[in-house]
Structure 1
Amino acid sequence: MALTSEDVSRIAHLARLELHAEERAAMLAQLNGFFSIVERMSAVDTAGVEPLYTPLSAVAAVELRLRDDVVTEPDAREANQRSAPTVEDGLYLVPKVIE
């Protein structure tokens, strides 16, 4: 997907940027370079490749240091909702603001 100078002008306008002709040409080259890298990456067959959760796992076995998923705080919903103007079935009710 190659961009044109008009595309860069439109993007600059949407981003509220003022680009001179030489800046627009440089930006066009940079953006087209970026898109060519993306196209090359998209062409790589990744079938059967497990996603990495960290780049370090490609080099060595990495064990994640995760804590157990346990509740550590008491349920204070009722105490928190006492000051709410309107509550129903444990949910805060608010006035409709969009029609």
Structure 2
Amino acid sequence: MYTYHDILSKENVSLSARLEKSLKTADSLAAQLQVINNHKEKIELMLKAELAAKVETKDVKQKFFELQSTISKLQQELLHCSTKNSIHFQPQVVLLFLCF
């Protein structure tokens, strides 16, 4: 026959075992969560770097188009001035200027 004390003792041992198992599971889950967070941080850094590269590329492209437009305008002005004032350049000089 079991006494009240025996029943409580067995229940306490059972609860302690379940608690220990739960703590091990919690530790395992915490370790897995840390690995996931590390991967998440790496992915975020890669995405930020990729976004920065895209923004930089966009800025470079924009500046390139602006420079190209300015060069085109200068070439047109040069051609206009040369025909208006009857200034004749050697073909090599005009070709060299138009290449830039």
Question: Do the structures match in fold with TM over 0.5?
Answer: no
Q: Which has the larger radius of gyration?
A: 2
Structure with the higher helix share, 1 or 2: 2
Structure with the higher strand share, 1 or 2: 1
Q: TM-score, normalised by structure 2?
A: 0.28
